[in-house]
Amino acid sequence: MLGVVMKKIVIAIGLAVFLLLFSSASPLEAGESSTCVVYFTGIGCPHCAKTDPVVLKELPEKYPNLVVIEYEIYQQRQNAPLIYDYHQVYQSGLSIPLVIFGQNKFISGDLPILEKFEDAIESEAGNLCPLVDGTGIRFEDLDISSLPGQPKIITHSLVEETDLKTVVQSELTLPKILSLAVVDAVNPCALAVLIMLLFAIVTFSPKKKHHILLAGLSFILAVFVMYLFYGLIIVRIFQLVNALTSVKLWLYRVLGLAAIILGILNIKDFIHYRPGGFLTEMPMFLRPKVQSLFFKASSPKGAFIVGALVTIFLLPCTIGPYVIAGGILSTLSMIKTLPWLLLYNFIFVLPMLAIVGLVYWGVARVEDVSGWKDQNIRYLHLIAGLVILGLGLAMFFGWA
């Protein structure tokens, strides 16, 4: 009974996240205008943060005939190649923020845009929308669906009081972070380590169930805290890399490729399972060392210390999805990444909490949980592999 219920829960979570990943965003609306420009920006770009309120809100409110075709290139990865394409035609450069009016008519950088954009709007009244092939067209005659990438049309009638960037960012980030967290949560490596701990606790105190609860929660708390710390480090490393715009444009695709490889490795473990799979399970030579540590965790304090140490052994088999998540979150400030990391790690430890609860309340014995894990380990790899493979393909090809 326990096995059937847990299998259904895991499969349901995996399918739900997989479907959520490919949910489509709401379509863009068109407005009417006669002075049209293309604007390249990026979420997480400090210079763009200065110009976005002016270009996307203040000036469209002031000039009802202004239309801004916005291309956000950090979160909307399908837009990233377009800055290269426009540069080839308009020689507009690869730096953002960037406003393009037409041939030899563009403004690049935060200070030039803040100082010159309004004057350019007045001097270039009636400007045609500059298209990626070098031609221009009146906005009234433009077929919005023919525009490449994922543009956002900003006009006087479409400017809202809400923070447009925050909305877009949340829509793009939530399915990915949930997917990666679920993949990590059903990781057989993490579940096996917790089962080792419970076996050690039961061996020392077979009749003291409260020891199972306290030691188990202490271990899980240590894992949560240490992984939160590791996550902050990972995000910071990516932020340093992201300082280079040219690297940042390709980083998302590299992360997608890494996810594809990790997904294939998990699916391989479903097809041909061998314990200690590369990047999918704890290496076999590390397991005796971890087991010996657990027999020192006979108290909540000992379980916490051992839990903190064991995270180092867990990293080889759980770090893959976490690194990908850190790369996605690196466009945010460190403060804004914290809620996402807390959510990720809460989902990561949920199965551990469930196992401790089942054993403590007598719903299942440690042997039952261990047996269920061994019987279904291939299916856990399959679910993780399908979810992360789908995410990787979506990231690599710009579908999400």
pLDDT at 205: 62
Say how far apart CA 341 and CA 108 lie, in whole Å: 34
User: Quick one: pLDDT at residue 374?
Assistant: 83
Helices (H), 157-244: 164-185, 188-204, 209-241
pTM recorded for the entire structure: 0.60
Gap between the Cα atoms of 186 and 69, Å rounded: 42
Q: What is the chain's mean pLDDT, rounded?
A: 81
The alpha carbon of 213 is separated from its chain's Cα centroid by a whole number of angstroms, namely 32
* Domains, the chain: 35-161 (3.40.30.10), 168-397 (no CATH)
Instruction: Give the count of beta carbons closer than 10 Å to the beta carbon of residue 293.
Output: 20
Q: What is the pLDDT of residues 171-214, one digit of tens each?
A: 446 788 888 898 888 877 777 777 877 777 776 665 667 777 88
Going by C-alpha positions, the residue among 159, 173, 67 that lies closest to residue 121 is 67
Instruction: Please give the residue that has the higher pLDDT: either 333 or 47.
Output: 47
**For the residues 43-67, what does the mean pLDDT come to?**
91
Least confident piece of the model among 6-20, 36-50, 53-67, 378-392: 6-20
**pLDDT tens-place string over residues 162-173:** 344 444 444 446
Express each pLDDT in 126-151 by its tens digit.
999 999 999 999 888 888 878 888 89
